[in-house]
């Protein structure tokens, strides 16, 4: 079965909506105008909603009878990046752009909402979550902490993301981990400052810094199995103020990615042991903080999405053996609360990558994504 004809018939209208949203991006949890726009669209469709989290919105569509509750989630926030596409609908907000396609995800959900408004002949409840703050602002946790899973007994939850450089008719479903965790660490190494000509009278923190950077890279090689995926990156080093002064303090910041929670444990413990060793060897005092920002996105019901996607794009266009991405997604927190799957839809083989200043969402994905959600709802309700 191809895309839904009635969704496809709205293509020009949906494209205009998406391109309008593209002109007025909002960052983080501050999606005030975007939410107001979505509310107007839902009002026109006769679909009720409630505010949830921080500037997020939950729409509710009741079927004709009792049944499962199936939730779908899209993200709405943009990036703090200057757009360089030169498009006629380029962002008018200085230093801000929809460089990850959340304008398209929001439009896809509105397209699905329009379909549901005319197709309520199912047994169950559908929840449509329009979420703020996905790009590192804790939007999913705000929704969860506001009682989403206490208010509703959600049987399944599904989400999607456009994904270059896969073809626009390709659907990618991971059987297990789809995206990596993200952890962050801060290390402060304190020594004893003094003149550069008398290092023997100082406690020099940079020697410890050098060994930490080298040692951190050995963690992957010696503590993590070669069959597991993990990355440790040192992203910031701050310290010193002059050529001839050994500083008191140096700050190191870094980022860790892995696809397995057990590997997170190994890396956190190993970096902690490394820091303790530096204190002993160099006499520095260390403060080490390790923060688990996002868990991995782990799909638990990929078979439902595979079945639905094969009806929409054909079996040959459903890819199920692709490697997980090392980027992270706060959708992962929902998968700790219920069953579901996070699916990728190709944005076009010639599309710039996500978070690129020249990126733009492929409007054809809106029709495909909304049609996939419609098929997926049927699959989930009949499971």
Query: What is the rounded average pLDDT for all residues in the chain?
Result: 97
CB 27 within 8 A of CB 80: yes
Phi first, then psi, for residue 334 (nearest 5°) are: -65, -35
CA 350, 372, 143 angle in degrees (round to 5)?
A: 95
Size of the chain in residues: 383
> In CATH, which of 3.40.50.970, 3.30.9.100, 3.30.70.360, 3.40.50.1970 is domain 182-294?
3.30.70.360
CB 193 within 8 A of CB 202: yes
pLDDT of residue 20: 98
Distances (CA, A) of 256 to 97, 99, 174, 251, 348: 26, 23, 21, 17, 29
Could you state, in order of their start, the residue ranges of all structural domains in the chain? 5-178+297-382, 182-294
Residue with tokens 């923060």: 291
CB 61 within 8 A of CB 86: no
H-helix or E-strand spanning residue 369: helix 364-382
Each residue of 305-352: pLDDT tens digit?
999 999 999 999 999 999 999 999 999 999 999 999 999 999 999 999
Cα 349 to Cα 163: distance, rounded to the nearest angstrom = 9
pLDDT of residue 1: 61
Cα 108 to Cα 364: distance, rounded to the nearest angstrom = 10
Cα 92 to Cα 312: distance, rounded to the nearest angstrom = 36
Confidence of residue 380 (pLDDT cuts 50, 70, 90): very high
Q: What is the CATH number of domain 5-178+297-382?
A: 3.40.630.10
First-to-last C-alpha distance (Å) of the chain: 19
Cα 239 to Cα 218: distance, rounded to the nearest angstrom = 24
The tokens for 70 are: 């199936």
Q: Please give the DSSP secondary-structure letter assigned to residue 100.
A: S
Phi first, then psi, for residue 254 (nearest 5°) are: -155, 175
Taking alpha carbons only, the member of 160, 109, 111, 134 closest to residue 26 is 134
Each residue of 143-201: pLDDT tens digit?
999 999 999 999 999 999 999 999 999 999 999 999 999 999 999 999 999 999 999 99
CB 55 within 8 A of CB 29: yes
What is the tally of helices (H) and strands (E) in the chain? Answer: 11, 16
Q: Mean pLDDT throughout 93-119?
A: 98
Cα 100 to Cα 87: distance, rounded to the nearest angstrom = 16
User: 372 Cβ partners below 8 Å, 6+ apart?
Assistant: 160, 171, 305, 308, 309, 312, 343, 345
Beta bridge partners of 172: 319, 344
Confidence of residue 2 (pLDDT cuts 50, 70, 90): confident
- SS3 track for 130-172: EECCCCCCCHHHHHHHCCHHHHCCCCEEEEEEEECCCCCCCEE
Beta bridge partners of 58: 50, 129
3-state helix, strand, coil in the chain (%, to 5): 35, 30, 35
CATH topology match: 5-178+297-382 vs 182-294: no
User: 375 Cβ partners below 8 Å, 6+ apart?
Assistant: 1, 308, 309, 311, 312
pLDDT of residue 383: 81
CB 60 within 8 A of CB 48: yes
Q: Residues of the chain with pLDDT > 90: what percent?
A: 99
């Amino acid at each position: 079965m191809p895309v839904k004809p009635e969704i496809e018939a709205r293509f020009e209208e949906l494209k205009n909506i998406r391109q309008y949203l593209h002109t007025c991006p909002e960052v983080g949890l501050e999606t005030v105008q975007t939410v107001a726009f979505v509310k107007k669209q839902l009002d026109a469709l006769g679909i009720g909603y409630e505010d949830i989290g921080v500037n997020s919105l939950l729409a509710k569509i009741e079927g004709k009878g009792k049944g499962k509750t199936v939730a779908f989630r899209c993200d709405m926030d943009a990036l703090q990046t200057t757009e360089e596409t030169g498009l006629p609908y380029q962002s008018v907000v200085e230093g801000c752009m929809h460089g990850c396609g959340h304008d398209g995800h929001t439009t896809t959900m509105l397209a699905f909402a329009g379909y549901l408004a005319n197709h309520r002949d199912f047994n169950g409840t559908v929840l449509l979550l329009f979420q703020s703050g996905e790009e590192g602002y804790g939007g999913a946790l705000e929704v969860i902490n506001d009682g989403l899973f206490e208010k509703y007994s959600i049987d399944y939850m599904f989400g999607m993301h456009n994904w270059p450089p896969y073809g626009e008719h390709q659907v990618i479903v991971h059987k297990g981990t789809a995206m990596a965790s993200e952890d962050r660490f801060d290390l402060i190494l304190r020594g004893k400052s003094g003149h550069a000509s008398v290092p023997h009278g100082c406690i020099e923190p940079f020697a410890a810094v050098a060994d930490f950077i080298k040692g951190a890279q050995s963690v992957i090689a010696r503590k993590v199995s070669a069959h597991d995926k993990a990355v440790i990156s040192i992203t910031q080093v701050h310290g010193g103020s002059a050529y001839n002064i050994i500083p008191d303090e140096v700050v190191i910041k870094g980022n860790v990615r892995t696809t397995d929670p057990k590997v997170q444990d190994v890396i956190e413990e190993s970096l902690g042991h490394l820091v303790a060793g530096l204190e002993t060897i160099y006499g520095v005092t260390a403060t080490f903080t390790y923060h688990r920002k996002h868990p991995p996105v782990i799909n638990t019901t990929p078979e439902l999405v595979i079945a639905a996607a094969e009806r929409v794009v054909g079996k040959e266009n459903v890819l199920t053996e692709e490697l997980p991405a090392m980027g992270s997604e706060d959708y992962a927190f929902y998968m700790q609360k219920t069953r579901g799957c996070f699916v990728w839809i190709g944005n076009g083989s010639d599309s710039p990558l996500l978070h690129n200043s020249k990126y733009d969402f492929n409007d054809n994905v809106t029709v495909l994504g909304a049609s996939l959600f419609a098929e997926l709802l049927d699959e989930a309700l009949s499971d």
